[in-house]
Structure 1
Amino acid sequence: MTYKTVLVHVDNGKYCPARLRMAVHLARRFDAHLVGLHAMTAVRLPAYAIAEAGATLIEAQKEVAREQARGAENLFRKATEGAGMASVEWRVSADDAVDATTLHARYADVVVLGQSREGDGAGVETDFPEQVVLAAGRPVLVVPYAGNFEGVGKRVLVAWDAGREATRALTDAIPLLREAEQVHVVAFNPEGTAHGAVPGADIGLYLARHGVRVEVGYHRADDIDVGNQLLSRVADLGIDLIVMGAYGHSRLRELIMGGATRTVLQSMTAPVLLSH
């Protein structure tokens, strides 16, 4: 398994250039086709506003959307042409950002998104990455808004709880794990029989058979939540990529994320590859 199609969401936000650099790096590293997608959160106007303004308002909205799409395309072209990339593709969707990205993700091996930040001008909802992770069925690499990340995956931390989501994330990350200098598999507060006699030992053997240079351990601190334990280990080990399962579900349009997932997405200090 390798990555042969990389999808990156492109907007006019302040932090989009860093996300594009990451996507270009991944595509070049794996000799992959890079797809840039522009789609914004749909603006739903109240009926009375449409009735009063009519066609004038609708046309003004369309012109703003066209201008945003042109700006995003210019960013994408600048990043890919500057890197000398030939296998690239630009797409624009009028659908809502979550729906469009979820659909296009079905035909990609990995999706690159940016960490949300209020007021960054991205034109998407603040829970956009979380919604895509839960709906896409593809691994999503989320790039922090703070920091400089020219590459990814030399020193990797895999958060392991022997669950379905963590298994999916780990196997989705194997192309990156194989090339890593060091992979740390860490079980935080391990409980139950799924871990076996030694937490992490079985998944460590699985990764070793894939040629991954792996170290296995577990970390227990019952007075500290798992998300903050994980972020602490990231700092201690100089990690440049976190791999973890995304836990959560949508209920009546409310997004409910697992505690560790929510903590990491809010406070990440390194790129995070998530799968659900």
Structure 2
Amino acid sequence: MALKELLVHVDSGARTTERRDLAFLLARRFGAQVSGWFAENEALGASLVGRRGRSDMDRAAEAARLAFEASARAAGLEAGWWRLEPGEPRHLIDHTTIRCRYTDLAIFGQHDDRESWVPEELVEEVVVGCGRPALVVPAFGRFPDVGKRVVVAWDGSREAARALHDGLPLMREAQSVTLLAFQRPSAGPPGPLPHLDVAAHLAAHGVTARYERVFVGELGPTDTLLNRCAEVGADLIVMGARPQRGLPLQDGGSLRELLRQMTAPVLLSH
């Protein structure tokens, strides 16, 4: 898949700059078009009764647009701009999901309880519902680039296969790719399938990966993945997104829990 159209979520939060600049860098790298998608809650934080007035939201959207377009010009890009009209959380989630179906990669920020500009479940529901990959940028830390040191979470599932292929454009120029193959200890003889080599499949696409088999035990997949990412200094995690399960072979937990714990940008596909 070639990345030719990028969409980045924009709000009034301080971390918009981080994901905006990353979107611009990827647009230059791939020769892609990039558009900003301004969408915010009407509610004030977690309040169920407090609402911002229309004039306040109009001013916020205009300030965000001017900043976005000025940064695009400084980066030598012609960027598009979309504003979602204010509404309830369900309105924001549903319309964002639909918009993301018309892009090659959508870029979001990790939910931050300090700045509740969007529903906490936005990223989870968009990833599951839009049919396109999403790149989620952590709420803490600096991430001027992605795809130099990649960790792939693999378990052979449909979602993992989808993420692996959606992540190929970001892996082809990587300095290192670590493929963590999550497995449970075998309880019997191998099945009828021939030997399947996901590392060889990546090599056919020009990506050299270090294969590491991981047996799920006392240390759960989430901790195993994040620990390995810290060890290699990963700037990108590639994994399939499965609601209610999260990481490969994880019993209990959820994708939302992973999104709360992430320490590096994550490319998710469903």
Give the structure 2 partner of residue 36 of structure 1.
36
TM superposition shift of 1:77: 1.4
| Matching of residue 152 in structure 1 with residue 121 in structure 2 | no
TM superposition shift of 1:261: 3.1
Partner SS for 2:178: strand
Report Cα offsets for 1:58-86 as digits up to 9, x if no partner. Answer: 9x732122112112212311321221112
Give the structure 2 partner of residue 216 of structure 1.
211
| Matching of residue 9 in structure 1 with residue 4 in structure 2 | no
Give the structure 2 partner of residue 229 of structure 1.
224
TM superposition shift of 1:97: 2.4
| Matching of residue 182 in structure 1 with residue 180 in structure 2 | no
CA distance in 2 between counterparts of 1:180 and 1:258 reads 33
TM-score (norm 1): 0.84
Partner SS for 1:116: coil
AA matched with 2:66:
N
CA distance in 1 between counterparts of 2:97 and 2:63 reads 22
Partner SS for 2:136: strand
Give the structure 2 partner of residue 66 of structure 1.
58
AA matched with 1:71:
A
CA distance in 2 between counterparts of 1:153 and 1:188 reads 21
Partner SS for 1:236: helix
TM superposition shift of 1:260: 6.2
Q: Which runs of 5+ in 1 are unaligned?
A: 50-56, 250-256
Map residues 165-180 of structure 1 onto 2, 5 A cutoff: 165-180=159-174
The root-mean-square deviation of aligned C-alpha atoms, in Å, is 2.6
Are the equivalent residues in 2 in contact too, given 1:228–1:263 (CA < 8 A)?
Answer: no
Give the structure 2 partner of residue 119 of structure 1.
114
AA matched with 1:5:
E
AA matched with 1:27:
A
TM superposition shift of 1:188: 2.3
TM-score (norm 2): 0.86
Map residues 46-61 of structure 1 onto 2, 5 A cutoff: 61=53
Give the structure 2 partner of residue 91 of structure 1.
82
The sequence identity of aligned pairs, in percent, is: 40
Are the equivalent residues in 1 in contact too, given 2:6–2:103 (CA < 8 A)?
Answer: yes
Are the equivalent residues in 1 in contact too, given 2:199–2:208 (CA < 8 A)?
Answer: no
Report Cα offsets for 1:140-195 as digits up to 9, x if no partner. Answer: 0000011111110001000001001111111111111112122111112346768x
AA matched with 1:225:
G
TM superposition shift of 1:266: 1.0
AA matched with 2:99:
H
CA distance in 1 between counterparts of 2:152 and 2:139 reads 21
CA distance in 1 between counterparts of 2:83 and 2:146 reads 27
- Higher helix residue share: 1
CA distance in 1 between counterparts of 2:227 and 2:254 reads 13
AA matched with 2:35:
V
TM superposition shift of 1:264: 2.9
Give the structure 2 partner of residue 243 of structure 1.
238
Report Cα offsets for 1:216-266 as digits up to 9, x if no partner. Answer: 1112250011111100000111111000011116xxxxxxx9636334311
Q: Which runs of 5+ in 2 are unaligned?
A: 245-250
Are the equivalent residues in 1 in contact too, given 2:184–2:216 (CA < 8 A)?
Answer: no
Report Cα offsets for 1:106-157 as digits up to 9, x if no partner. Answer: 1100000000011225x20122211211111110000001111111000100
Partner SS for 1:7: strand
